[in-house]
Homo-oligomer: A and B are copies of this chain.
Amino acid sequence: MKKTTASTDARVKIIPLGGLEQIGMNMTAFEYEDSIIVVDCGLSFPTDDMLGIDLVLPDITYLKQNIDKVKGFFITHGHEDHIGALPYVLKEVNVPVYATKLTLGIIENKLKEHNMMKQVKRKVIKYGQSVNLGCFRVEFIRTNHSIVDAASLAIFTPAGVIVHTGDFKIDYTPIFGDSADLQRFGELGKKGVLALLCDSTNAIRAGFTSSERTVGHTFDNIFAEHSNSRIIVATFASNVDRVQQIINSACKYGRKVVVEGRSMVNIIGTAMELGYINIPEGTLIDIEQLKNYPDEKTVLITTGSQGESMAALSRMASSIHRKVSIKPGDTVILSSTPIPGNEKAVARIINELSMQGANVIFQDTHVSGHACQEEIKLMYSLVRPKYSVPLHGEFRHRKAQAGIAESLGIPKDNIFMLNSGDVLEMGMEGAAVVDQVTHGAVLVDGLGVGDVGNIVLRDRQNLAQDGIIIVVLTLEKYSNQLLAGPDIVSRGFVYVRESENLMEEAHAVVETATYDCLNKGVTDWGKIKNVIRDSLGDFLWKRMKRSPMILPIIMEVDL
């Protein structure tokens, strides 16, 4: 049996390890006999209740348990939710990484930061090329997205061909390179595709996502209209095409360009080096040179379009940027729409910029990178898969894609709304979820990976809500005699100076509770702590309707 020719009784497993319960953390394993390949390896950002957490990684227990089978990572594009977990995961599962040139360039920036360039094997794959790995052959197909060099994957398995779109849109007039390779999708579909794993992010939006090029026309109009003021454009660092268009407008209107913000400088540097952006000689200037040009002859391209408080734009707006301050008359273009959850931060930055006298423009200055309903229909109509597995998006988005798939004639039983960890086994004869593997979220806090979990988070939530009250007392080891305390210390509870009465009453409550225990001859410290916790807790709830964390500590002195 030739490996990549479908056999009627062969069955391949599709195992999403992240990305289905939340935006981000995209990672899907494909398994056939002794081979596993993994598509994408993304992180997600903490939700509001993950206090103090910096990043969230997918749990890769299943890969570690099957480490001998794992052959490699195939990465569809260079966004954090598809590559961000790589440095962490490769430390535990060190297998080769395959990606297009810019994607790999961005990955290499990360590997350098983690000092991992030497030990990680990696290979640039061109559109149309394939990689043979274990029982699989993986072909990279050209597609469009809000970052250049995005790829869909055709995964040839003994059970049939699986098409994984990655994040995609169809842009007939892209800025760099060509439109998505619709012909290849059609060709694959004509020959027969087992399953389509398709991006659902915009599946609740009607119509067709506009071309990136439409934003360029908006920029041209804004540049023409605001020819007397400095222009500052904030956008996503990774949107190289967007930056290209800002540079095009700048050149057209004779402005010098400054690129500012660490991640923006990094990615544009990589894009220039690899030939993904075209900047005419003499256009870019250093931020230090800005003062040598009149305002109306300059453009700043910067990070911070999501209102991130530490990004360059925010620092400019609050005048804590080392080099640039917003001044009255500046034109500031926010070239992005708020990612859900960032709306208030974006509103805040617009207010701050407006207060500094800037003219803030945020309409028609962005297009999405994800396929809307008509593009999803187009993809299904080209690929015509036997099975549909909506990927990438919250439940409601994936459900919407399931509805689209059904409307296009895919039987309901052939559409799989998976959960992370599900093992979907499929072949020409049928498909079903046959198992569940370990999956979940690993929290990164500072340098600690996985040492903060639900109990620690619940403590942080309690502490955040009403603070903490610590009750300390020192007992003699043998006699249980009270040598010192009980003392009360609080943090994050009330202004102690303005609540002297309250704290005195609380102290009396704790003293009574302590003496009650000691006089009754209670020697079990756990019990003493419980009595203190309960009586102080009751008192504070009745008196204040608050529940601070109460932490009794007993010290023991051996006289």
Contacts and interface: CB of A to CB of B under 8 A. Distances in A.
Interface of A: 47-48, 51-52, 340-341, 343-344, 347, 350-351, 354-355, 360, 394-396, 399, 445-448, 451-453, 455-457, 459-468, 470, 472-474, 483-485, 487, 489, 491-495, 498-499, 543-546, 549, 551, 553, 555-557, 559
A275 to B, nearest CB: 36
Contact of A394 (B351, B457, B557): B351
B452 A460 contact: no
A48 B464 CA distance: 11
Contacts of A498: 451
A51 B461 CA distance: 9
A482 to B, nearest CB: 10
24 contacts: A48-B344, A51-B464, A51-B465, A52-B546, A341-B343, A350-B396, A354-B399, A446-B546, A451-B495, A459-B491, A459-B492, A460-B463, A460-B465, A460-B467, A463-B492, A468-B491, A470-B553, A474-B483, A483-B557, A484-B556, A485-B555, A489-B551, A491-B549, A559-B559
Nearest to A483: B557
A494 B350 contact: no
Contact of A470 (B448, B461, B470): B470
Contacts of A396: 347, 350-351, 354, 360
Contacts of A555: 472-474, 484-485, 487, 555
Given A52-B467, A343-B343, A545 B446 contact: yes
A498 B350 CA distance: 44
Nearest to A47: B344
Name the prevailing secondary structure of the A interface residues. Answer: mixed
B543 A447 contact: yes
A347 B343 contact: no
Which A-B residue pairs are the 9 nearest by beta carbons?
A446-B545, A464-B464, A463-B463, A459-B492, A460-B492, A446-B546, A351-B395, A52-B465, A484-B555
Scoring A48, A396, A463, A467 by chain B CB atoms within 10 A of each residue's CB, the highest score goes to: A463
Contacts of A462: 492
A279 B465 CA distance: 42
Nearest to A540: B446
Contacts of A347: 340, 394, 396
Given A447-B543, A448-B544, A559-B559, 10 more contacts: A48-B344, A355-B395, A445-B546, A448-B494, A456-B467, A462-B492, A468-B468, A472-B553, A491-B551, A557-B557
A451 B545 CA distance: 13
Contacts of A460: 463-465, 467, 492
A174 B473 CA distance: 67
A456 B492 contact: yes
A213 to B, nearest CB: 25
B456 A463 contact: no
Contacts of A464: 51-52, 460-461, 463-464
B452 A495 contact: yes
Given A463-B460, A472-B472, A446 B553 contact: no
A361 to B, nearest CB: 12
A425 B350 CA distance: 29
A453 B551 contact: no
Nearest to A345: B48
Contacts of A467: 52, 456, 459-460, 463
Contacts of A473: 555
Contacts of A48: 48, 344
Nearest to A21: B351
A466 B52 contact: yes
Nearest to A502: B451
Given A394-B347, A396-B350, A493 B456 contact: yes
A457 B492 CA distance: 6
Contacts of A394: 347, 351
B351 A340 contact: no
Contact of A494 (B47, B355, B451, B556): B451
A460 B549 CA distance: 12
A445 B452 CA distance: 28
